[in-house]
Amino acid sequence: MNAIALPADLARHRRAVVMMIVAAICWSTGGLLVRKLSITSAWEIVFWRSLFMAAFVALVLAVMHGRGMPRAVRGAGMPGLVAGVLLAGTFFFFIASLTRTTVANTFVLMSVSPFLAALAARVVLKEPVAARTWIAMAIAFAGILVMFGGAVDAGQLAGNLLALGVSVCFAAQLTVLRKFHATVDMLPMVMIAGLVSVVPAFALAGPFAATGHDLAILAVMGCAQLGVGCLLATAASRTLSATELGLLALLEPILGPLWVWLLLGEHPGTLALVGGALVLSAVVANQLLAAWRGRPAEAAEPLPGP
């Protein structure tokens, strides 16, 4: 007999869905905020964004754990450290991509992360991959080829490759967590990623040129766009399955280019729209099929943003 969901469980599930939706909306503002900056140095942007994020997460950890904060950070262990380094890689790739290609290309190419994670799990962890996922990955790959075809002449190939780097780091991060069966609190890992990012970014940034207006935007990026998004995703991951988290996280690549198009008039281009439609259709269809089949709730891993 199937277990009957209690009202309290349903209410908790609804709250988790709302939290994940808000998290995805926070993450999706990254492209818009970068376009509002007067500075163009990817390294300086990463430095300030990571610094503000690390400070924000450290404050939240201090409030949550008090004097036990160092113990909470150490509790992430080596898997948390390695995952934090990989998360730091997504920060660099994300900002570097946004400064070299359109927001649409960056976000759509990032949306293939679930497929790369499935491939990594298959090769490294020997986890089975559903037939529908292989089909969806083939369609998504075709969409990526269309996007690259339009970017070569436009000089955006480097930016597209950097966007794929975000997905590669993200997939590697999930693989590390699964490999060591780690239950890692998202916030310590994000703080570690911020601290890891700050050092090389500071060394490579060169002369700092951020204005007071830039610093205000970068503070919003570090605290709200990334910090709040990760906090909400962490809370949601305690209730939602991996399938539900993946489906709701797709709001990020869908909304990201939309904000820039509507508010700044940055048209992504015809080929980017066609390729992006293929990629997003494949991702959404795969997630919807998984949810429709009513697969058992999985032990959800946190889904961090760029």
What 3-state DSSP class applies to 50? Answer: helix
Residue 284 predicted with pLDDT over 70: yes
Residue 4 predicted with pLDDT over 70: no
pLDDT, mean of residues 140-154: 69
Q: Tell me what the pLDDT averaged over the chain comes to.
A: 79
Would you state the pLDDT for residue 1?
A: 41
Gyration radius from the chain CA atoms: 19
- pLDDT, tens digit, 9 for 90 and up, residues 15-24: 888 898 899 8
pTM: 0.75
pLDDT, mean of residues 225-239: 82
Residue 191: CB partners within 8 Å, gap ≥ 6? 53, 54, 57, 58, 61, 73, 84
Closest residue by Cα to residue 229 from 33, 79, 35, 78:
33
Residue 102 predicted with pLDDT over 60: yes
Residue 124 predicted with pLDDT over 90: no
User: Which is more confidently placed, 193 or 275?
Assistant: 193
Would you state the pLDDT for residue 62?
A: 93
* DSSP assignment string, 174-217: HHHHHHTT----HHHHHHHHHHHHHHHHHHHS-S----HHHHHH
